[in-house]
Amino acid sequence: MSCCSSIPVPLADASAPNPASAKEIWLASRDLGDGLRQVILALPDVHCAACIAAVETALRKIPGVELARVNLSTRRVTINWRAKDGDCPEFAGELAKIGYVSHLTSFEDGTRDPLLASLLKALAIAGFSAMNIMILSVSVWSGADPATRHAFHLVSAALALPAITYSGRIFYRSAWTALSRGRANMDVPISVGVLLAFALSVYDTFQNAPYTYFDASTSLLFFLLAGRTLDHLMRGRARSAVGALAKLAPQGANVILAGGAINYVPLAEIRPGMHLLVAAGDRVPVDGVVIKGISELDCSLVTGESRWKHVEAGTAIQSGVLNLANPLTLAATASANDSFLAEMTRMMEAAESGRSTYRRIADRAAALYTPVVHGVALISLFAWLHATGDFHQAVTIAVAVLIITCPCALGLAVPMVQVVAVRRLFERGIMVRDGSAFERLNEIDTVLFDKTGTLTLGEVCLVNAGSTRPDILSLAAAMARYSRHPASVAIAAAGAEWKQFSRVFEEAEEFHGCGIEARAGDAVYRLGRPSWASTTPQPESGERNRSISVLSKNGEAIAAFSFEDALRPGALELVHFLHEAGVSVGIVSGDSHAAVSSVARQLAIEEFSAELLPSEKVDAIRALSVADRKVLMIGDGLNDGPALAAAHVSIAPSSATDIGRSASDFVFLGHSLLAVKEIMQTGSRADALIRQNFGLAIAYNVMSVPFAIAGQVTPLAAAIAMSLSSIVVVGNALRLGAGIETGRAIIRAREPATVGG
């Protein structure tokens, strides 16, 4: 079951830092202006929507707090409060009162998962105990004599003890934490049922009774732990993009001192006004203005623009862009904490926090399950005690009720379907990062695309290669090999087959931002910007989204090359599928209006926005969310990261940046956008099976509980019935995997041929 109850509260870690004091929080907080301050605290014990609600409710009750937002992915909470006279509330103390430890920084290293290791160990021990006790139980059921039966019961008790004490502690700890804070959770009836069944079995063993229920209690633990481990594995796939974004920023920068010396300083020590040296091949560390140097920047990760950007003195540039050509001297205009990448990080965290408030079906079912189970078992206990006066019989029936209503089937309903769905999509070359996305995907009514790298391949293609003379194309290709500019790469690739016309140049030089100049005898060839390469004006391209490069000889143009960004395979088919499904389709892009409108026209997409900043993409998604629209965002760049995290569901191609992939729920490995269609169809089927599994689990309880209340079911029979219900749920989940090869064959037949690298 996917809720607070389903995740154990970790034991105190001796290596963990102590909770932050009010003074430490004040020093670590950030001044937002107008008396408002912000701090981010790590919460290692939050695990679900119920945890989020508990933490945010407690913090909002503190005077002065204006915002408390939990990010489940990073297990951190962002707090904005109105400071008065330098006072800082005791946030850590208030969180401790409701059972949550908080720290200024997370002490989880992210490379290991101690909770998963604990779950696997507990599962192994419970499985070993249950298996061996079942073997002994068969002998008892077969009619063993009293002495042998008693011996087997003693051995079963010894085998059950490790499972009850070690494996069961995962549930006991969570149940005790909830009860000690005055609330109940799913682990309370589980713990009561397991411990009562074990205690009753120990009592019956020493009374030499014919039956004990060690097999029931250990089997119960095994099935519950199996579902919990699967659920944890699926949730563990959802990793925050914030960490990947932080890795993109340099650790420091080269600062030019007053005397001209260069000193490398940590990023946190950079202040506005400092002069920085950014070498070719380095990323810009903070926002700044170029004061010396001419170069080309790759801004695709930041703006989504596929073309390189020419910069010179006076040009303002953002942190995160890549310097490609020559060294640049910048005057920093912002500190690291106020730069573009830092703002992207804050937007990403805010967007992820919004998605983490989504309550899964399992979470909603958990809220109703606990009080019902407690009430039914308690009524059964007192009713039978009042009717018969037999305490042993009353306890036995209450235990049977707790076991037969155990949420094993409910606990397996979601993770089993997710595991099968993940395998199905893996067969199609699609990676699933967050299992809950299968449920969210079924609610989608709007799809937004980025353009560059998503609807298009993000690769410049030469359009008029077929109409260009082979000797001219070969000449241009020979010059283009001296540059790694996207247009040069496209020309070199197009002219590779005409090697018989290859030309050798005496010298060649690339002028960044202009083009390539080469000499052969008395001839001077130029390939690049029309205004630089030729002395005669060149006609503009007939297509608004195309760019032109000119090849000239001694200043006279001899050829013009036209480029465009080719559509991604499957784009047209996917848009048609979405339109037929009644889903609204739009484009949100940082690229130019001309380029975006051209792609929108080709794909028959009426709604589009161009030249958007990352924050404006997030604003567009939030505006749709306010209108109760559920958005699927498909993008690939760094500038798409916050939008991907803010959307209800998100998908990225494998060619996306690390940040784009990390912020997405699904990542497809191929070139074709028909993978999105496969994801949506699989998600719809998975959601239907999850709901069927919950229906089966509820039907099982409705039919079986009356027999348990009537005293017609022993704890052992209850354990068998519970196991059978779990098997039915697992079998139903496996139906999702049927017909994988057939589905693959159908979709492959519809896919266009792959283009591009």
119 and 232 inside one domain: yes
- Identify whether residues 514 and 585 lie together within a single domain: no
520 occurs within a structural domain: yes
DSSP letter assigned to residue 71? E
Residue 79 in any domain: the answer is: yes
Considering the domain architecture, whether residues 617 and 552 belong to the same structural domain is answered as: no
CB 95 within 8 A of CB 55: yes
Question: Count of H helices and E strands in the chain?
Answer: 26, 26
- What dihedral angle (degrees, nearest 10) is formed by the CA atoms of 123, 124, 129, 134? 80
620 found inside a domain: yes
Tokens of 532: 């630089």
Contact 249/334 with Cβ under 8 angstroms? no
pLDDT of amino acid 304: 52
Catalytic residue check, 338: no
Question: Rounded CA gap, 755 and 569, in Å?
Answer: 7
Distances in Å between the Cα of 708 and the Cα atoms of 270, 386, 402, 703 are 70, 17, 9, 10
At 159 the pLDDT is: 92
Structural domain boundaries, residue 309: 250-342
C-beta of residue 663 within 8 angstroms of C-beta of residue 241: yes
Whether residues 449 and 589 fall in one domain: yes
Comparing CA positions, the residue from 580, 636, 307 lying closest to residue 449 is: 636
Report yes or no: 197 and 403 within 8 Å, Cβ to Cβ: yes
Give the 3-state secondary structure of residue 604.
coil
Question: Is residue 61 a part of any domain in this protein?
Answer: yes
Among 231, 287, 434, 450, the one annotated catalytic: 450
Query: Which residues, listed in sequence order, are joined to residue 290 by a DSSP beta bridge?
Result: 330
Cα 736 to the center of its chain, rounded Å: 23
* Residue after which a domain boundary falls, among 106, 131, 159: 106
Tell me if 273 is assigned to some domain.
yes
Residue 49 lies in a domain: yes
Report whether 303 contacts 276 (CB < 8 A): no
Q: Which residues lie closer than 8 Å to 473 by C-beta, 6 or more apart?
A: 465, 491, 494, 495, 498, 501, 559
Residues 125 and 227 in one domain: yes
32 CB-near residues (< 8 Å, 6+ apart):
38, 80
Task: Verify that 628 and 486 share a domain, yes or no.
Answer: no
In a domain, 363, yes or no: yes
Any idea what the CATH number is for the domain that residue 44 is in? 3.30.70.100
Cβ atoms within 10 Å of 327's Cβ, excluding its own: 15
Distance between CA 731 and CA 426 in Å, rounded? Answer: 20
Question: Coil, strand, or helix at residue 99?
Answer: coil
Number of domains in the chain: 5
pLDDT on residue 158: 93
**Structural domain includes residue 291:** yes
Tell me the β-bridge partners of 446: 584, 631
Residues 411 and 478 in one domain: no
How many angstroms separate the CA atoms of 163 and 509, rounded?
74
**307 plus 450 within the same structural domain:** no
- DSSP class of residue 448? E
Last residue of a domain, one of 79, 106, 133: 106
CATH number at residue 289: 2.70.150.10
Nearest to 645 by CA among 413, 439, 347: 347
Boundary (domain end) residue, out of 507, 537, 564? 564
Regarding whether 194 and 166 lie in a shared domain, the answer is: yes
Spatial separation of the C-alpha atoms in residues 10 and 15, rounded to whole Å: 13
Q: Report mean pLDDT in 10-residue bins for the chain, 757 residues.
A: 38 47 75 78 71 81 84 74 77 83 60 74 91 82 79 90 91 81 72 84 85 80 80 56 58 84 83 88 87 82 64 85 85 81 62 50 61 79 87 83 71 73 79 77 90 81 84 88 81 78 79 83 88 72 66 90 84 92 90 83 90 86 90 82 86 75 79 89 86 81 84 75 76 70 39 34
Are residue 216 and residue 256 in the same domain, yes or no?
A: no
Whether 368 and 276 share a structural domain = no
Q: Starting from the edge strand earliest in sequence, which strands make up the sheet with 322-323, in order?
A: 309-311, 295-298, 322-323
Q: Which pLDDT score, from 0 to 100, does residue 404 have?
A: 78
Helix (H), strand (E) at residue 578? helix 571-580
pLDDT of residue 752: 39
Residue 590: which residues within 8 A CB-CB, separation 6 or more?
A: 303, 304, 305, 452, 610, 611, 612, 613, 614, 617, 637, 639
Residue 572 and residue 628 share a domain: yes
- Alpha-carbon distance of 309 to 296, in angstroms, equals 5
